[in-house]
Amino acid sequence: MTRMQIQGMTCEGCAASVADALAGAGATLPRVDLDAGEARFDAPGVAPEVLRAAVEAAGYRVVAIDDAVSPGRGPLHRRGPSRPSAPDLLVMGSGGAAFAAAIRARDLGAEVAMCEAATIGGTCVNIGCVPSKALLAAAGVRQVAAHHPFPGIATSAGPVDLAALVAGKDELVDRLRFEKYEHLAEEYGFTLLCGRGSFTAADRFVCDGEEMAAGQFLLATGASPAVPPVPGLAEAGYLTSTTAFELRELPSSLVVIGANAIGLEVGQLFSELGTSVTFVEAAGRIAPLDEPEISAALGDVLRRQGAQVHTSATVTGVSRRGARRAVTFSAGGSELEVEADQVLVATGRRPNTAGLGLQAAGVALGARGEVVVDEFCSTSNPRIWAAGDVTGAPQFVYVAAAQGALAADNAIGKLGRSLDWTGLPRVTFTTPQIASVGPTEEEASRAGHRVETRVLALDAVPRALVERDTAGLCKIVAEEGSGRVLGVHLLAKGAGEVILAATYAIKAKMTVTQLAETWAPYLTMAEALKLTAQTFTRDVSRLSCCAA
């Protein structure tokens, strides 16, 4: 008898999916134990790789396969949680918004059930924030080893074993998914239902073939990569931010279609691992939602690292040439073509609303397919709420979690809460990082503010000087007259850490004078905020290194 240890099973439906996958691969009478996280079966003549591939194709991770084990405890069983006939809150999805809502609802004493069509945990832990930042950290280590500015230190960077790197990422993802999702579901006592779900009426939902009623419903189904209708793209094959993190061999070359946050992060990740990268962006500059000074400075960094950057570009086709792809695009009045091993599509994400029966439920959608919600996260159906990426809100997991908790407060607690969006920060984890809070200069002007701005290059910041890396800048957007800080925008190493101080400054309605007079520890990147604020009234190049 063969035993297979499996991670990612969370409910009866998962166990059934694993059993079906094994049977389809040639296993005889597979018996799956949800509690033990394993399956036992006979599979004479079937290669372990075939069985592993079948289970992993079903969405689960095979940890080990052991041959010739004892039948052990006797017949294994499939176990599912008890299903409340009508929970107080039925959640669609199991990511950041879904879990925040479920936890808050349980805190309020509600019975909660959750319907998940794929892997528990949603985007962030499985295919988004956690895996991308883990791989970015690894790529950053290699980049420093290959190119550092310090005399007298000899380092080198050898070939990258991408399969080992991705396996390490998978181990981290598996552990965090168990600790922060699977274990918490059990600890808080809400029911996990595995299967695709859809509404059949305004107050009826079917999950895994079972019709359920509920007191309130929450849509938290997230978003998925949006793929543009480029001729030949589907036939040639392409990567998304999801599939790029599953590669086992490092491509020698990569074309990235789209150079906003996701495209920049993933593209630079591969560049730092040793891939030749070309960015193709439709807008007039990379990072088009950021300040133009940041776009220009980051573009210089990418080019110094060896990347090609094309802006104001329209992709006209993708074709397959043997094992490679050719991307054609128009830019600057010319038709250009770039060949590469792989093509990454990073042109945004689309809310996951298809197939949910929202028309039958009377839930209105917006122009981009997003669920339309009011400030309370309520939809056009008063018993259905929505939170996270599916609403078209800023696609950050902390926004999804905040909306999820808010929706539960309002659906279960009837609290009538809304969110204060003032000082919402965002970070793009490039090298150096982009971090912003508040409006850009253009956005503030469009909103009717008379603004005054200052830009400080990092060669005026002592921390950047001692690290011998002055690529970047800090920009402050202030209200003319009052000096109130409206926006802060950074391109710097550790900018994501610095931006929290700027967030507090904006929430507290501080002025540039107050920011300039606030204590700032010397030889930290956060000192850039103080120095930039000082430039509103003086030339900081004429200060000594630690002058107040």
**Same domain as 135, residue 59:** no
Mean pLDDT of the 20-30 span: 83
pLDDT of residue 70: 38
At a CB cut-off of 8 Å and minimum separation 6, what does 232 contact? 317, 318, 319, 320
Distance, CA of 499 to CA of 121 (rounded, Å)? 27
Asked if residue 40 lies in contact with residue 31, where contact means CB atoms within 8 angstroms, the answer is yes
As for how many domains the chain has, the answer is 4
> Is 84 a member of any domain?
no
Residue 79 has pLDDT above 80, yes or no: no
pLDDT of residue 53: 87
Q: How many Cβ atoms sit within 10 Å of the Cβ of residue 153?
A: 7
At a CB cut-off of 8 Å and minimum separation 6, what does 357 contact? 198, 199, 200
Confidence band (pLDDT; 50, 70, 90) for 3? confident
310: domain CATH number?
3.50.50.60
User: Which has more confidence, 535 or 83?
Assistant: 535
Mean pLDDT of the chain: 92
**Same domain as 111, residue 54:** no
Which secondary-structure segment (H or E) carries 261? helix 261-273
3-state per-residue secondary structure call for 336-398: EEEEECEEEECCCEEECCCCCCHHHHCCCECCCCCECCCCCCECCCCCEEECHHHHCCCCCHH
Q: Residue 11 is part of which domain span?
A: 2-66
Confidence band (pLDDT; 50, 70, 90) for 84? low
**Same domain as 182, residue 110:** yes
Residue 305 has pLDDT above 50, yes or no: yes
**Same domain as 268, residue 193:** no
pLDDT of residue 545: 78
Per-residue pLDDT tens for 337-388?
999 999 999 999 999 999 999 999 999 999 999 999 999 999 999 999 999 9
> Is 82 a member of any domain?
no
**Same domain as 511, residue 383:** no
**Same domain as 218, residue 94:** yes
Q: What percentage of residues in the chain have a pLDDT greater than 70?
A: 96
Residue 68 has pLDDT above 70, yes or no: no
> Is 447 a member of any domain?
yes
- Catalytic residue IDs: 9, 11, 14, 60, 124, 129, 545-546
> Is 418 a member of any domain?
no
Mean pLDDT of the 230-236 span: 95
Per-residue pLDDT tens for 525-548?
999 999 999 999 999 988 887 767
- What are the respective helix, strand and coil percentages of the chain, to the nearest 5? 35, 25, 40
- Of 173, 119, 90, the closest CA to residue 11 belongs to 119
Asked if residue 62 lies in contact with residue 4, where contact means CB atoms within 8 angstroms, the answer is yes
